[in-house]
Structure formats: C-alpha cells, structure tokens
Structure 1
Amino acid sequence: MDVFRTLLETQPLLTLFVTVALGYLVGELSIKGVSLGSGAVLFVGLAIGGWAPKSAPPALLGTLGLLLFLYGIGIQYGEQFFKGLTSADGLKANAAAALGVIGAGFVSIALVPLFGVGLDQSLGMFAGSGTSTASLQAAMAAMKSDGATVGYSVSYPFGVAGPILFLYALSALLKPNIERPPPKLMETAEIALRNPVFIGLTLSDLVKRLPDGVAIAAVRRAHHNQQPADDLVLQPDDVLLATATNPALLREAISLCGELQPGRMTSHREDLDYLRVFASSRLVVGRALRDLHFPDGVVCSVAHVRRGDADMMPRQELILEFGDRVGLLVNRGHLKTMRAYFGDSIKGTAELSFISIGIGAALGLIAGVIPLPIPGVGRMTLGLAALLLVALCLGRQRRFGPLVWTMPLTANLVLRNFGLTIFLAQVGIASGPKFFATVGTTGASFLLYGAVILLALVIITAVCCLWIFRLPFDMAVGVICGATGNPAILAFANRVAPTDRPDVGYAMIFPSMTIVKILFVQIAVVLSGG
C-alpha cells in the first residue's frame, strides 16, 4: 500500500484520473433511486487526498475545469435565461428562487454567531446544500483557505438527495394532475382546397387564418409540386402540404380548408423532393432561417428542423445550430448542391470552434478582473461569475460575423461535464487531509447544519412558487431544481412532472441563481471583513 501511495503522490495526473474513474463508479450506485452522480468524484477525491496527502494536482487544473463548466452552461442557456428575465413567469421564477437562495444564505451565515462555525465552513455548507461548485470556488478564493471545501463536502449529499426527497413528498402531498405531452414529431397532411372562402386569396393570407403552429410546406397545382410563395393566388383543387407537430391542429386545418387527399403530392417527386441534411457548415450555423441565402438558381424551402429528439416548426426567427437535422423541399437536380451548402456532416454533432471558445473565455476572464463599485460593500470583482455572464450573452447572440458561439448539445454536455469532473476531483484531493481532521472534531453537527440550510432553500422556493406567485406545479419543480442546481434533481423532476416545463424552469433560473450564489458568498466575505 505504501508503494501505491507513493505512486499517487509522485504522479498527480494519474491520481486525478484514478479519482475520476472511481468517482463515477461510486456515483452510479443507486439507493432507492437516489445516486450522487458526478458528485461522488468529490468524495472519492477526499478519500484519496486524506490517504495520500501530497497527491493533489495543481489548483489551476480545477479552475480550468470550472471555467469549462460555466462557459458551457452559459452558451447553452443564454437564450432561455434572457427570456426568463422578460417574461412574467420567468420574473416570478427568478424572484422565487432568489428568495430561496438568499434565505438559505442567511441561515448559513447565522451558524457563525449561533454555533461558532467558521465563516469559510458555513459558506461551504451553503455552496454544498445548493450543489454550487462555482460558489465553492468563490468562497475558497475569497477566504484564501480550503475550509469551505469541508463544509461543501459534508452538506453536498443533502444538496443532491434532499431536494429529490422533498419533490417526492411535495408530489405525494399535492397530487398534481399532470399529463405527459405527446412527443414533438412532425406530421403532414395533403389537403385539397375546397373551401370557397379561401379561393382567390394569397397563400400568405391563408396561412394567417390557419391555427398557430400549422405551416404550408408546398403546393401542388396542375400536376406539379411547387414552393409555397407568399404571393401565390389560390385556386380550386390546389393541394396544400400542411405540417404541424400537434395532430389536433393539423386536423383543424384539414376541416377548415377542404378534405384530406393523401398521396397527391408525395407520390410525385419529379419537381420537389424531400432531403434531410445535417447543419454543419458555417454558412448556415448561427443564422436565422430568414437570413439563409441559398445558392443561385436553387429554389428551396425548409420543411422542419429536428434538434435532439424534437421536431421544430420552421419559424423565420429559428436559429440553426451545429448538428440540427434540416428537412428541405428542393428539386432533385439540386440535392447535391444543398448537401454541400448545409455541410451535411454528422461531425457537426460534435463540432467545436476553439477560436470562439478561446475568445469567449478570454472576454469572460477579463470582465472578471474588472473591479466594480457596490454601494455599502466596496469594490469587488466578479471572478468566474463574469465569465458566466459573458457566456450567457454569447449564447443569446449565437453568432458574430464568422465566429459561431454555439455548440452542439452533445459537445456542450461533454465539455462542461468533463470540466465539472476535473474541478471536483482536484478540489477533493487537495482538501482531503483537512476534511477528515475537521469531521473528526465536529461529528454529526455539520451534517445537521447542511440539512437545515437545504430545507430553508427548497421550502422558501416552493412556497414562493406555488402559493405566492402561483406558478404551475411542473414549472415550480423546475424552479426548485434550478435553485438547488444539480442536474440529477432535474432528472427526478422530469419523472414527477413529465412535461417540458421543468426543463424550461431550470434553464430560466439556473444561470441567474449561480450568479446570486457567487455574489452572496463574495458580499458575505467582504462585509465580514474576511
């Protein structure tokens, strides 16, 4: 064993990846449906660090990992975050989560005078109860000690398991009636125009009278399929190829326009054919559909866009991302041209612009060192919180000239999860010795403190969401997940409330609550004179 300990202490990178492997192995263990996931990497790191005290990798590795995690979060959720700041439900969600986070923060600060807990340890428990690694980094940097890691690691289990148990109990108590929505899959209908009200109108006038969510992808006239030009004047017996992701809306469009005549268009593809391509070219990625300029001589229309597992209607403001699968209607003679235009490479699902990442991260780091005056507090820097803010802005912008800020979802997940894992492993190994020394002297008291902080966070957030702001239950559970932060909690929430609202609620407030947690930690340290 001494030989293995010496090996770990002389090869810190080996120690890092051993910690990652063992951490994920432990994180997959499930007890009654609850598992630690990537959080187990921290505990394995603490164990290895306690056993081999000199094995810690350089702290810069941990900072780099957290940078990748925050940058990926900002790029993915930029658009949802800013929508959340302007919509009524988004403002309510952010207010509810902020009250919960700040309330939990004050509970953690109260531990200092009431029970003699160190400020760094109390802030660490605040970060761990909210599973916020960014807050942990802020506390470590502000206090210039690793005491925050001890509090974080002790309260982190409550930060993961506690909200899951709370959501289970809340669902059992309230018994909400939530139906699982049907999958968003594109459906089509060939409709022969019979309604005399629409004869003589232009196609754009007809579309305005159709149910919202129904689009016309093509028109068949005189035995020829053609593109749906807005100024096309409709004639009797025109056949409309209608598309929608909601079957009920499609049935409504059929009854409104005429009668269903399947096969009239799809069996004749000599004029228009269907082509599905991957969006992987920089000519299209980061651009709205209205801004696409097809090659000269090519007449083409976008029938739908598939992102992840969901079909999306071709709204003019829809911005394409790497890896999107785009359904096109185009003449067969132009199929090869359109494949080249869109790129059509499956590699787009993992495409990264390291130029964009480098520039974006550099801008965030520069913003993080600019001192900002805060009344009553003094001048302080945002640190990595500024990086997250910059990434959110870039994620909303999507593209600037030749620079494409967005990343495919798969690549983004890999990047930020790898960064989070590296951060947890490095911090755990470095803090292992002090962790065991502290827990040996505090006993179960820190466990109790972490549970109290967590309860303050989820109870205040839930009360504000459900009874003060009266948000729907499925939206409220997403807000609770975003306030607590761990993706494992969101995965459980999707089982409790099987709609897309938990994801939307999480996306709207997770970035802002990360910033609130970081700022709370920094302000608390400044006001305490630490």
Structure 2
Amino acid sequence: MDQARLFLETQPLFTLFLTVALGYIVGEINVRGVCLGSGAVLFVGLALGAFAPKSAPPALLGTLGLLLFLYGIGIQYGAQFFRGLTSPMGIKANAAACAGVLASGLVAWALVPLTHIRLADALGMFAGTGTSTASLQATIATLKNNDAAVGYSVTYPIGVAGPILFLFALKVLLKPRIDAPKAKLIDMAEIALRNPAFVGLKLHDLTTRLPQGLAIAAVRRQHHNQLPDGDLVLQKDDVLLATATDPEVLRETAARCGEIQPGRMMSHREDLDYMRVFASSALVVGMPLRDLRYPDGVSCAIAHVRRGDVDLLPNPDIVLESGDRVGVLANRAHMEAIRAFFGDSIKGTADLSFICLGIGAAAGLLAGAIKLPLPGTGGFSLGLAALLILALCLGKIRRSGPFVWVMPLSANLVLRNLGLTIFLAQVGISCGPKFVDTVGAAGPLLLLYGVIVLLVLVGVTALLAMAVFKLPFDTSVGVLCGATGNPGILAFGNRIAPTDRPDLMYAMIFPSMTIVKVLFAQLAISLAGS
C-alpha cells in the first residue's frame, strides 16, 4: 500500500486521469433512476486524496477546467439567456428561480450563527445542494482554501437526488396531463393555383395571405421549375411547392389557393434539384439566412434547415449553426459551388476557432480581475462569473466580422465536459484529507442542514412558479431544473414532462442562476469579513 501511495503522490497527472476514469465508472451506477454522473468524479477524488494526501495536481489545472466549462455554457446558451431576460415568461421564470436560490443561500448563511458551523461549510452546502461547481470555485478562490469542498461533497448527492424526488412527488400529487409534442418534420405539397383572387399577385404578396408556418420552396410554370422570386407575378395554373411542419397548414393553403396535384415537381429535376449540405464554412456559420451572399452567378433556395432532430422552415431570421443540415433547391450546374460555399464538411462541424476561444477567455479573465466597489466590504471581483457573463454576450452576438464566437455543439460538449471533469477531479484530490477528518465529526449534521437548504430552494421556486406566476407544469419543471442546475435533473424532468419547454427553460435559467450563486457566495464572504 505504501508503494501505491508513493506512486500516486509522485505521478499527479496519472492520479488525475485515474480519478476521471474511476469517477465515470461509479457515476454510471444507477440506483432507482438516480445516478451521480460526472459528480462521482469528486467522490473518487476525495477517496484517492485521502489515501495519497500529496497527489493533488496544481490548482491552476482545476481553474482551467472550470474556465472551459463556463465558457462553453455561455457560448451555447447566450441567445436563450438574453431572451429569458426580456420575454414575460422568461422574466417570471428567472424571478421564481432567483427567489429560490437567494432564499436557500440566506438559510445556509443563517446556519452559521445558529449552529456555529463554519462559513466555508455553509457556502459549501449552498453550492452542493445547488450542484453549482462555479459557486464552489468562487468560494474556494475567495477564502483561499479548499474547506468549502467538504460541505459541497457531503451535500452534492442531496442536490442531485433531492430535486428528482421532489419532481416525482409533484408529478404524482398534481397528475398533470402533458401530451408529448409531435416531431417537427417537413411535409410538402404541390398546390395548383386556381383561385382568381390570387392570380396576378406577386409571390411575396401571396405569402402574406397564406397561413403562418408555410413556406414556398419553388414554383412550376409551363413544365419548368423555378426558384421562388418574391417579385414573380403569379399566373393561373402555376404550381407552388409548399412546405410546412403541420400537414393541416398545407391542407388549408390548398383549400384557399386551388388543389393539390400529384408530385410532378419532384420527379422533374432538370431545372431544379434537391441536395442537403452541412453548414461548416465560416462564411455561413453565425449568419442569418437573409445575410447569405452566394457566389456570383449562383442562385438557390433554402427549403429547410435541419438542426439536431428538428426541421426548421426557412425564416430570414434563422442564424445558421455549425452542423446544421441545409436543404437546398438549385440547378445541378450550381451544386458544387453551393457545396463549397456552405462547407459541407462533417469534420468541419467539430472544429472550433482557438483564436476566438483565446480572445474570449482572456477578455473574460481580465473583466473578472477588476475590483468592484461594495460599501462596507472594500469591494469584490467577479472572477470567473465575469467570464461567464462575457461568454453569454458572445453567444448572443455569435460573430463579429471574421470572428465566429460560437462553436459546434459537439466540440462545445466535449470541451466543457472535459473542463468540468478536470476541475472536479483536482478539487476532490486536493481536499481528500480534510474531507475524512471533517465528515467523521460533522458529516451527519451537514447532511441534515443540506436537506433543509435544498427544501427551501425547490420549495420556494416551485411555489412561485406554479402558484404565484401560474406557469404550466412543464415550464415549471424546466425552471426547477435550471435553479438546481445538474443536467441529470433535467434528464429526469424531460421524462416526466416530454415537451421542449424543460430544455428551453433550463437554457434560460441555468446561466443566470449560476451567476446569482457565484455572486451570493462572494458577497456572503465579503460581508462576513467586514
């Protein structure tokens, strides 16, 4: 055993990656639908750190890991975050989650004078019950020690399992009826123009009179298919290739315009043919469809955009993301030029700009180093919370001239999950010895206090979301998931509320609540020091 301990202490990188591997093995263990996921890396790190006290990698490595995690979150969820700050439902959702987070933080803070626990333990419990790694990092950095990791590690399992049990109880108690939405897939129909009221109109004037959720992909006239020019004056017997994600919209359009004909347009491809390309070129990624500038002499029409498992109608405001699959109608002679324009590279959808990553991260760290005044405390700095805020702004902007701030989803997931894992492993190994000493003496009490803090968090959030703001059940589930933070909770929320609202609310709530948790931890330490 002594030789194994000595080897771990002389090979900190080996210890780090052994922690990662064993942590994910433990995290996959499923107990009645609950598993720790990446959070298990922390517990394995605590065990190895207790066994080999001098095996911890440098703290800078853990900070780098968290930086990558927060930057990836901000870049991905920037647009949803700012939308949540302005929409009526988003404001209500953020208010409910913020009240719950602050209430739980105040309860944790009040436990310091009431129970005589250390401030580090209280803030560690606050971070653990809220599964907020960023809040833990802020506490560690401000206190300049790893004491908070003990309270975090003791209460983290409660922070994962507790909200899942709470959501399960809500579902059983309320028995909400939630119909799973149908998959949004493109349907099409060829509609012959027979209505005299529409003959002689320009195509863009006709589209304003048709049902919403419909797009015209092509027009067939005198046995020839052509692109949908908005200034085209329509004639009787013109055939419109209409697309929609709702078949009822197509039927209503056919009833207004004329009748649905057999599929002649798709069987005659000498004028226009269909192809699907990957959006991977820097010329198109981060650009709205309205701003695309095709090569000289090349003309085409976008029939739809497939993002993940969802088809999107070609709206001028749609901003292309790396990895989008774009359905294009064009003459075959233009297809090679169109492929080159969009990039059409699967490999390219996993690339990211390290120039933009470096600039964004450096600017965020610089902003985080600026000390902000706070009366009575001497001031405080945002630290990595400033980096998250900047990343959210860049995620909303998407690109600035040649700089494409967004990154492909696949690359983003790998980057931030790797960063989070490295941070958890480093923190766990470094505080392993303290964890053993503290848990033996105060573990059960910290566990009890953690339950109290968690119940305040989920109880206040649910009460405001559902009883005060009257948000629908699936929306409230997303708010609770965003307030508590762990992706495993969101996965369970998607099972009990199988709509897109839990994901949407999580994207709106999680970044802002991460900032609130970080700022609360820093302010609590500043005020305690004063």
Q: TM-score range by the shorter chain?
A: over 0.9
CA distances 1:279-305 after superposition (whole Å, capped 9, x unpaired) = 111111111111111011111111111
State the aligned residue count: 530
Matched, 1:159 2:159: yes
Residues of 2 paired with 1:484 and 1:499: CA distance?
19
Q: CA deviation at 1:212?
A: 1.4
- Provide the rounded CA distance (Å) in 2 between the counterparts of 1:525 and 1:258: 71
Conserved in 1, the CA contact under 8 Å of 2:154 and 2:443? no
2:89 is the counterpart of 1:96: no
Determine if contact 2:377/2:529 at 8 Å carries over to the other structure.
no
Q: Which has the larger displacement, 186-195 or 38-47?
A: 186-195
Q: Which residue of structure 2 lines up, in the alignment, with residue 477 of structure 1? A: 477
> What corresponds to 1:60 in structure 2?
60
1:284–1:292 CA contact under 8 A, matched in 2? yes
Q: How high is the TM-score relative to the length of structure 2?
A: 0.99
User: 1:322–1:408: 8 Å Cα contact kept in structure 2?
Assistant: yes
Q: What is the SS of the residue equivalent to 2:159?
A: helix
Offset of residue 144 of structure 1: 1.4
* Correspondence list, 1:281-320, <5 A: 281-320=281-320
1:308 CA drift (Å): 1.2
Q: Distance in 2 between matches of 1:108 and 1:15?
A: 33
| Aligned counterpart, 1:400 | 400
Q: Using the alignment, how far apart are the partners of 2:254 and 2:87 within structure 1?
A: 33
Contact 1:78 1:391 in 2 (8 A): yes
Query: What CA distance in whole angstroms lies between the structure 2 residues aligned with 1:416 and 1:83?
Result: 23
Cα distance in 1, alignment partners of residues 170 and 251 from structure 2: 38
Alpha-carbon separation, structure 2, partners of 1:525 and 1:466: 33
> In structure 1, what is the equivalent of residue 260 of structure 2?
260
- Is residue 524 of structure 1 aligned with residue 524 of structure 2? yes
Partner residue in 1 for 2:231? 231
Instruction: State the alpha-carbon separation in 2 of the partners of residues 157 and 131 from structure 1.
Output: 9
Unaligned runs of 5+ in 1: none
Q: Map 1:101-180 to 2 at 5 A.
A: 101-180=101-180
Deviation at 1:443, TM superposition (A): 3.6
Q: Which residue of 2 aligns with 1:366?
A: 366
Deviation per CA, 1:133-192: give whole Å up to 9, x if none.
000000111111211000000010011000001000001111111100011111111111
Which shows bigger deviation, 198-207 or 460-469? 198-207
- Deviation of residue 2 (structure 1)? 2.0
Displacement after TM superposition at 1:375 (Å): 4.6
Deviation sequence 1:8-32 (CA, Å, 0-9, x none): 1100000000000000000000000
Greater mean alpha carbon deviation, residues 252-261 or residues 390-399: 252-261
- Stretches of 4+ moved more than 3 A in 1? 374-378
Q: Is the 8 A contact 1:279 1:321 kept in 2?
A: yes
Aligned partner letter, 2:29 = L
Offset, 1:378: 4.2
* Mapped partners of 2:405, 2:252: distance in 1: 40
Counterpart Cα distance in 1 of 2:99 and 2:71: 25
What do the CA deviations read for 1:373-393 (whole angstroms, capped 9, x no partner)?
A: 235554211000000000000
Counterpart Cα distance in 1 of 2:151 and 2:239: 67
Whether 2:389 is the aligned partner of 1:389: answer yes
Contact 2:190 2:260 (C-alpha < 8 Å) held by counterparts: yes
Deviations 1:238-271 (A, max 9, x none): 1111111222222222222221113120011111
| SS, match of residue 134 in structure 1 | helix
Aligned-residue sequence identity (percent) comes to 69
Matches within 5 A, 1:428-443: 428-443=428-443
Report the equivalent of 2:191.
191
Flag structure 2 segments of 5+ consecutive residues without an equivalent.
none
Match of 2:218 in 1: 218
Secondary structure of residue in 2 paired with 1:311 = strand
Q: CA deviation at 1:125?
A: 0.4
Paired with 2:247 and 2:103, the residues of 1 have a C-alpha distance of: 45
Q: Distance in 1 between matches of 2:464 and 2:378?
A: 31
Does the CA-based 8 Å contact 1:239-1:264 persist in structure 2? no
Residue 88 of structure 1 aligns with an amino acid whose one-letter code is: P
**Aligned partner of residue 521 in structure 1, secondary structure:** helix
Asked whether 1:83 is paired with 2:105, we answer no
Counterpart CA distance in 1 for 2:249 and 2:39 is 44
Range with greater deviation from structure 2 (8-17 or 347-356): 347-356
Q: Tell me, in whole angstroms, the C-alpha distance in 2 between the residues paired with 1:522 and 1:509.
A: 20
Which whole-Å deviations, capped at 9, do the CAs of 1:99-136 have from their partners, x for residues lacking one? 00000001101110111110011000000000000000
* Cα gap change, 1:443 to 1:397, in 2 (>3 Å): closer
The match for 2:208 is: 208
